[in-house]
Amino acid sequence: MDRTATPELGRGYGGGVTSGHAATGDDDRPAGSTSEASTLRDLLTASSGGDRAAFSQLYDLTSARIYGLALRVIRDVHYAEEIVQESYLQYWQKADQYQPSRGSVITWMMTIAHRRAVDRVRTEELQQRKAAEYGAGNASTPHPIPLEVVVDREETRTLHTCLDRLTELQRASIEMSYFNGMTYPEVAAVTSTPLPTIKSRIRDGLRRLKKCLHGEADG
């Protein structure tokens, strides 16, 4: 079975944007409700077996939230659309790797989309900054930018290394809150997670992050 490309999908992003629903998934039922969570889980399970119709339905039910999250992080319509398409390709290819014990389907999907959006922002900002720095010091030298110029600073690498040591849910929650300026209730709404869980997740993640940055063993 070819899983290198997603099934043919629409570009309306679940109808949530065009019909006036918020990108966080506000509709006639609470985001992350039991019925919705069960439906999404069933559709993802079917998708993991190659059911393209189920995957298209999964897209229709979730794409408004995925697009809204990507747009909020990257703040560019075209890049946000690319993030959506890349994310759904990953959902299609990795559907069988979803683990219910690690969170709801929408949380899993949001985490993947958020990571892609953040990585895109960091890559764009890093390239622009390094290109500007290199260009300012070498205005008369029209050569390609050397590889070492685009290497980020040591402290940033350390931060990224420590972030990678967190659980995916901890990292995504911290990035949404501290890197993208989202409030805890907004993070809870976007990920369809209870607010107390988000607070606990971020608190524990920040504690682990602080220990790592100070070179302390996690335990």
Could you give phi then psi for residue 145, rounded to 5 degrees? -70, 125
154 is a domain residue: yes
Compute CA distances 146 → 142, 157, 200, whole Å: 12, 19, 43
pLDDT bin (cut points 50, 70, 90) of residue 210 is: confident
Residues 98 and 42 in one domain: yes
pLDDT tens per residue, range 77-115? 888 898 999 999 999 999 999 988 878 899 899 989 988
User: What pLDDT is stored for residue 87 in this prediction?
Assistant: 93
Instruction: Answer with the one of 137, 167, 191 that is the final residue of a domain.
Output: 137
User: What pLDDT is stored for residue 128 in this prediction?
Assistant: 56
- Mean pLDDT in residue range 163-188: 81
Token pair of 161, please?
Answer: 């290394």
Residues 158 and 203 in one domain: yes
User: What pLDDT is stored for residue 108 in this prediction?
Assistant: 92
One-letter amino acid at 52 equals R
41 is a domain residue: yes
Residues 101 and 194 in one domain: no
CATH number at residue 108: 1.10.1740.10
CATH number at residue 201: 1.10.10.10
Residues 130 and 168 in one domain: no
User: What pLDDT is stored for residue 2 in this prediction?
Assistant: 61
One-letter amino acid at 135 equals G
User: What pLDDT is stored for residue 36 in this prediction?
Assistant: 87
CA angle 77, 79, 85 (to 5 degrees): 105
pLDDT at 65 over 50: yes
pLDDT at 54 over 90: yes
Instruction: Answer with the one of 112, 137, 162 that is the final residue of a domain.
Output: 137
Residues 53 and 79 in one domain: yes
Q: Yes or no: say if 82 and 119 are a contact pair by the CB < 8 Å rule.
A: no
The residue with greater pLDDT, 152 or 111, is: 111
Total number of domains in the chain: 2
One-letter amino acid at 14 equals G
Instruction: Answer with the one of 85, 115, 137 that is the final residue of a domain.
Output: 137
Domain residue limits at 192: 150-218
